[in-house]
Amino acid sequence: MSLARRPHPSIEQQTGKEPPMAHASLTPSPAITPAGGTPVLLALDLGTTTGWALRAADGLITSGTVSFRPSRYDGGGMRYVRFRAWLERLATDAGPIGAIHFEEVRRHVGTDAAHVFGGLLATLTAWAETAGVPYQGVPVGTIKRHATDKGNAPKEAMIAAARARGFSPADDNEADAIAILFWAIETAGGVA
């Protein structure tokens, strides 16, 4: 039995086309634009389709979703390799990340979702520790209560709350990330 690595076909080789770009919304939010630049904040709703929202040092908020769904040619850990590469690219493009806030899920309905969340969380925390970036999990009920005044708000209410702030989220993952980011900004990471 050989342990030699077999070549891994790229997405371009597998499909004959470029990999899909992540969805992103570029929505400036002057109401919370900091003066003189502040640390970059990243908010994540971890999952196969990860929602993200980022406040840049100039106060511009961007958000979107990115898929870490494996292809049929991927090994079990490729989604986590791609997630780490995405984090590194984001940190390079956005500048040094000052803090990461993510939705802390305590209970998953499905086993697969729990495994994916656990793997993404392990990858995120290992990357953050290596990069020296502070990170914090925020309970689901806290996020929902802050966004909608209801701790068990449905997905539709979270999307409506993001739209009320002037965003156009593609789905509930992006809406959750936007809510996490505003929670982090408005409560100073839960301190205020």
Amino acid at the residue 101: H
Sheet hosting strand 40-45, strand order edge to edge: 23-27, 61-67, 49-55, 40-45, 97-104, 135-139
Nearest to 99 by CA among 145, 53, 63: 53
The predicted pLDDT at position 50 comes to: 98
Sign of CA pseudo-dihedral 84, 90, 91, 97 = negative
DSSP assignments along 161-189, one per residue = HHHHTT---SSHHHHHHHHHHHHHHHTTT
Cβ pair 55, 181 in contact under 8 A = yes
Query: What is the rounded CA–CA span in Å between residue 162 and residue 84?
Result: 27
The predicted pLDDT at position 13 comes to: 45
Is-above-0.85 flag for pTM?
no
Query: What is the rounded CA–CA span in Å between residue 50 and residue 48?
Result: 6
The predicted pLDDT at position 176 comes to: 98
Enter the DSSP assignment of 30.
Answer: G
Sign of CA pseudo-dihedral 12, 47, 165, 63 = negative
- For the chain, list residues with pLDDT below 50: 1-35
In order of start, what are the domains of the chain with their CATH numbers? 17-186 (3.30.420.10)
The predicted pLDDT at position 165 comes to: 96
